[in-house]
A and B are shown apart, each in its own frame.
Chain A
């Protein structure tokens, strides 16, 4: 049986939005699917060395985020609110046995998930390849399309 293929475009760099690509990638790899994740724009935050477990989530502009009490939008913009929301989500994850982003990234690498960093974004934001975790390839839109054209599942997150 030829292996199925999946690609994911990871375009977000917040704690909450880093989960879906990594959960799907690691699970797909465990289901014998060849996985490629293309990290573009803020998604590159996930790939920066020692940064995966430092991602944050903000209650600002995020009205669906469950909070212990209703928080007015203006209050969400105060200093410390982002840190509080981040700490809250991390403690919820820990309590429910949800792996950290760093752990999922390690598991993805270990299971052979191919990681491609967007060249254009790196140039745009001034990121160097050395600043990213080891084993990352750098490529452009055509590199992703080439793999996506032969994949059964292609997701933009």
Chain B
């Protein structure tokens, strides 16, 4: 599982639709310092692709994505 990832901040974006999970992730990552890790939980099925695109564009790294029953959990390392 994700026991090996040390999470610095958790963002609950469950129940939110595009573009709010991305906007909230951006804000949360901005508040971190480099190399810190944000855990984001979403229920928006589109967030899986969106989060990858967002991270690629902004130079941040998605370390891991977990899919549960209707939920997605992202571990994002602030890299930029």
Binding site for B on A (CB under 8 A): 1, 23, 26-27, 30-33, 96-99, 107, 111
A-B contact count (CB 8 A): 39
In the A-B complex, the 6 residue pairs with the closest CB atoms:
A30-B26, A97-B16, A31-B57, A27-B19, A98-B17, A97-B17
CB distance from B54 to the nearest CB of A (A): 6
Besides the known contacts A30-B22, A32-B58, 14 further A-B residue pairs in the complex with CB atoms under 8 A apart? A27-B19, A27-B22, A30-B23, A30-B26, A30-B58, A31-B22, A31-B26, A33-B57, A97-B17, A98-B20, A99-B17, A99-B19, A99-B20, A111-B23
Binding site for A on B (CB under 8 A): 15-20, 22-23, 25-26, 44, 53-54, 57-59
Residues of A within 8 A of B53 (CB): 31
CB distance from B44 to the nearest CB of A (A): 8
Give the distance in Å from the alpha carbon of A27 to the alpha carbon of B44 in the complex: 15
Residues of B within 8 A of A111 (CB): 23
CB distance from A26 to the nearest CB of B (A): 6
Residue of A nearest to B54 (CB): A31
Q: Which of A31, A97, A107 contacts B58 (CB 8 A)?
A: A31
Residues of B within 8 A of A27 (CB): 18-19, 22-23
Residues of B within 8 A of A99 (CB): 17, 19-20
Q: In the complex, are the beta carbons of A30 and B54 less than 8 A apart?
A: yes
CB distance from B8 to the nearest CB of A (A): 20
